[in-house]
Amino acid sequence: MTVLINNKDLNFMLYQLFNAEELTQYSRYNEHDKNTFNSILETSYKIASEYFAPHNAKADHHEPTFDGQKVTTIPEVKEAWKHFSQAGLLCATQSYENGGMQLPVLINMASNALFMSANPASVAYPFLTSAAANVIDAFASDENKQTFLPHMLSGRFAGTMALTEPDVGSSLGDLKTRAIPQPDGTYLIKGQKMFISGGDQDITENIIHLVLARIQNAPQGVKGISLFIVPKFKTNQDGSIAETNDVQLAGLLHKMGYRGTTSTVLSFGENDQCQGFLIGEAGSGLKYMFKMMNEARVGVGLGAAMIGYRGYLESLEYAKNRPQGRLPSEKDPNSKPVNIIQHSDVKRMLLAQKAYVEGALALCLFAARLIDEHQAGSNQDSEILLDLITPIVKSFPSAYGPKANDLAIQVLGGAGYTREYPVEQCYRDNRLNPIHEGTFGIQSLDLLGRKLWQHNGKGLALLMQRFQKTLDETTVPEAKELAQIFSQHLATAQKTTKILGNAIFEAKVDQALANAALYLDMMGKVVISWLWLEMLNKAYLNFEQSQHQDDQNFLAGKLHAARYFIRWELPEIEHQAKLLTEFDNTCFNMQADYF
């Protein structure tokens, strides 16, 4: 059976690092305890390994096809969907009233992590459905909720988010899909959408698209955008399916990875028969969609972390069992070859993977805990902090997860480059993550151009408080040594932020944002270093006195990974800070004609 995660580490993160049991103090979660959490995670592990992992490679080799009439996916995808929805996982975080389990987002995130490791492409269908259901639950009219929501949560209908258009890409304000008001209060939808994941499939009876469109005569830009429910098939109030709703599949896109998830070009209203239902208020579409998008962004981060994690586990297993070569000091050709995990450079490649993927997973779980604190605990500070770090939660795993997969291939060498081993698929799958739900560049503008300065900079102040708390609690000498390095580079990051902020407010915004991608990478390294320090403190607290060898090994592993990240990677921000604070204009001044 495929190993999906280091369970000891997941337990450590949930119960020691993020104190999941504390969440049961919120009234929303007070019927839960550690037993119910663990029982849901066990169910998830079982379904993920029995129904998702086994066809991960097969769905990649046999990607969905479209014969002009109908999309066909391999039958295992539908079977997996069935087990996922029957276990109640589509509505795990929904209220009891909606038939859900009121599961904390933190535990749900851990459950999602298992599926992302097992089969990121097949689980995209249920994850998109849950996210779309959340938007409908939060903002749609009661009538629309009644029509669509129960069938999405039960697994009869799937959901998608339909934002991007062929000529628009990241620039949502320019989208052209139109919504023409009809006498009955519905809208006629007309336009084309592209890169819509799960936009067509043969898994569910119906597909509920959440479509961004511009109501006739709405203003240009983001303020003119509204959000609509657009089902593939018209749906009666009792949930039964009627005729087609004039949503045509124009074609499937053929991706390098994530092949098991259809990526579609959809035409809405080619025959002027496409009916849409406005969600909430006209002109607020982007605001509602961002609820789904922010959730999706954390989900992208989690996927990137877990595809990275899966590659790490595969390469670790290989390195432990593959004899080859000798240490440089061993000159006797008759000596026995060592397993490659003995080679320092292989240890480096494994340690870097461990530092990236465990750090990235911790970051996503941290975001989940903030969601719980905000949604179930009404903690506004947690919402503000979550808002600030969302670009980092999306981007750090998306940048370093693929790096981990690159290293996993390298550990396996020639074998890793073949489709006979699973790591090359991880590498291809993970390359999507720095692109969708806002590219790395878009996230960097969001962080440096917007998020930092909201609420008078309160998000950053809250983050700094968290850092300070961890520093104050660091007592073990091995951790203190790393805390000192962290403090020093943190000061650099703070100074850099201040200088860039001043420039933005002095209206040198193009120059100040020119190198924003460096800033996003820098802040990612700072936040992940903090999480490593926090993990190290908690690991000492829980395992230092343990007599069990596996506890001592676990602690030593955390120490070395923390050391690796803080000693090897974090100091790279000094040079980034230099370029940022000098407003280095090398890229800014480059001209198209010079290339």
**Binding residue for its own copies (CB under 8 A) from 513, 527, 531, 535?**
513
Supply the minimum distance, in Å, between the C-beta of residue 8 and its own copies.
12
> Smaller CB distance to its own copies: residue 232 or 436?
436
Q: Contacting its own copies (CB under 8 A), which of 188, 404, 408, 409?
A: 409
Q: Which positions from 68 to 87 touch its own copies by CB under 8 A, shown as an x/- string?
A: --------------------
Between 70 and 320, name the residue whose CB sits nearer to its own copies. 320
Q: Of residues 112, 129, 226, 444, which one binds its own copies by CB under 8 A?
A: 444
Give the dihedral of Cα atoms 574, 580, 582, 587; nearest 10 deg: 120
Residue closer to its own copies by CB (options 100, 303) is 303
Distance in Å, CB of 104 to its own copies, minimum: 29
| Contact letters for its own copies, residues 45-64 (x by CB under 8 A) | --------------------
Is 242 an interacting residue with respect to its own copies (CB under 8 A)?
no
- Which member of 138, 202, 413, 502 binds its own copies (CB under 8 A)? 413
Residue 514 Cβ, how far from its own copies at the closest point, in Å?
4
Residues 28 and 104: their CA atoms lie apart, in Å, by: 9
Residues 189, 178 contacting (CB under 8 angstroms): yes
Q: Which residues of 356-382 are buried (b: 16+ CB within 10 A; e: fewer)?
A: bbbbbbbbbbbbbbbbbbbbbbebebb
- 98, 144, 154, 342: which one binds its own copies (CB under 8 A): 342
For residues 52-64, b (16+ Cβ closer than 10 Å) or e, as one string? bbebbbebbeebb
65 is a site residue for its own copies (CB under 8 A): no
Out of 127, 288, 318, 427, the residue judged to bind its own copies by CB under 8 A:
427
Closer to its own copies at the Cβ: 380 or 454?
A: 454
Sites for its own copies among residues 449-478 (CB under 8 A): 449
CA geometry: angle 357, 358, 364, nearest 5 deg: 90
Helix or strand (DSSP H, E) at 252: strand 247-253
Binding mask 196-235 for its own copies (x = CB under 8 A): -----------------------xxxxx------------
CB of 480 to its own copies, least distance (A): 17
CB of 409 to its own copies, least distance (A): 7
Structure tokens belonging to residue 116: 């992302």
Is 160 strand, coil or helix? strand
Report angle CA 398, 121, 195 to the nearest 5 degrees: 75
| Contact characters 521-560, its own copies, x per CB under 8 A | --------------------------------xx-xx--x
Task: Compute the least distance from the CB of residue 535 to its own copies, in Å.
Answer: 14
Q: Supply the minimum distance, in Å, between the C-beta of residue 313 and its own copies.
A: 9
**φ/ψ of residue 251, rounded to 5:** 170, 160
Q: Which of 150, 169, 181, 283 binds its own copies (CB under 8 A)?
A: 169
Nearer to its own copies, 142 or 594 (CB): 594
**Residues belonging to the active site:** 437
Which of 68, 183, 185, 328: binder of its own copies (CB under 8 A)? 328
Q: Torsions phi, psi of 584, nearest 5?
A: -50, 125
Q: Measured between alpha carbons, how far is residue 455 from residues 383, 446, 452, 461, 466 in Å? A: 11, 15, 9, 10, 18
Query: Closer to its own copies at the Cβ: 464 or 509?
Result: 509
Among 146, 182, 216, 324, binds its own copies (CB under 8 A): 324
Residue 179, beta-bridge partner list: 189, 215
Instruction: Name which position in 242, 327, 464, 491 contacts its own copies (CB under 8 A).
Output: 327
Would you count residue 515 as binding its own copies (CB under 8 A)?
A: yes
By the rule CB under 8 A, 440 interacts with its own copies: yes
Enter the tokens of residue 4. Answer: 């999906």
**The only residue of 320, 480, 495, 498 in contact with its own copies, by rule CB under 8 A:** 320
Residue closer to its own copies, measured from CB, 36 or 342: 342
- The dihedrals phi and psi of 523, each to the nearest 5 degrees, come to -70, -35
> Would you give the DSSP letter of residue 128?
H
Q: Per rule CB under 8 A, is residue 346 in the interface with its own copies?
A: yes
Q: How far apart are alpha carbons 132 and 128 in whole angstroms?
A: 6
- Please identify, among the stretches 11-19, 103-111, 468-476, 563-571, the one whose residues bind its own copies according to the rule CB under 8 A: 563-571
| Under 8 Å between Cβ of 408 and 312 | yes
Three-state DSSP state, 408: helix
Stretch that binds its own copies, among 21-29, 138-146, 168-176, 378-386 (CB under 8 A): 168-176
- Residues of span 172-191 touching its own copies by CB under 8 A: 173-174
Least distance CB 306 / its own copies (angstroms): 17
Tell me the CA distances in angstroms from 364 to 22, 358, 372, one per residue in order: 18, 10, 13
Q: Which of the ranges 109-117, 279-287, 365-373, 417-425 carries the binding residues for its own copies, by CB under 8 A?
A: 417-425
Asked if residue 501 binds its own copies (CB under 8 A), the reply is: no
When binding is defined by CB under 8 A, the residue of 185, 510, 545, 547 that contacts its own copies is 510
Helix (H) or strand (E) holding 347: helix 344-375
Q: What is the DSSP letter of 266?
A: E
Residues 347-366 that bind its own copies (CB under 8 A): 347-348, 350-351, 354
d(CA 299, CA 580): 29
Cβ closest to its own copies, residue 91 vs residue 577:
577
Length of the chain: 595
Q: What six digits make up the tokens of 342?
A: 């003995």
- Binding flag, residue 241, its own copies (CB under 8 A): no
Provide the CA 129 distance to its chain's centre, in angstroms.
Answer: 15
Could you give the CA distance from residue 306 to residue 114 in angstroms, rounded to a whole number? 8
Residues 256 to 315 in contact with its own copies, rule: CB under 8 A: 256-257, 263
Among the listed residues 540, 375, 383, the one whose alpha carbon sits nearest the alpha carbon of residue 28 = 375
**Pairing status of strand 225-231 against strand 206-215:** antiparallel
Query: What is the nearest approach in angstroms of its own copies to the Cβ of residue 194?
Result: 8
- Could you give the angle at which helices 105-118 and 34-47 cross, rounded to 10 degrees? 20
Q: Are 525 and 496 in contact (CB under 8 A)?
A: no
Q: How far is CA 374 from CA 29, 381, 386, 588, in A?
A: 13, 8, 9, 39
Tell me how crowded residue 560 is: count the other CB atoms within 10 A of its CB.
Answer: 14
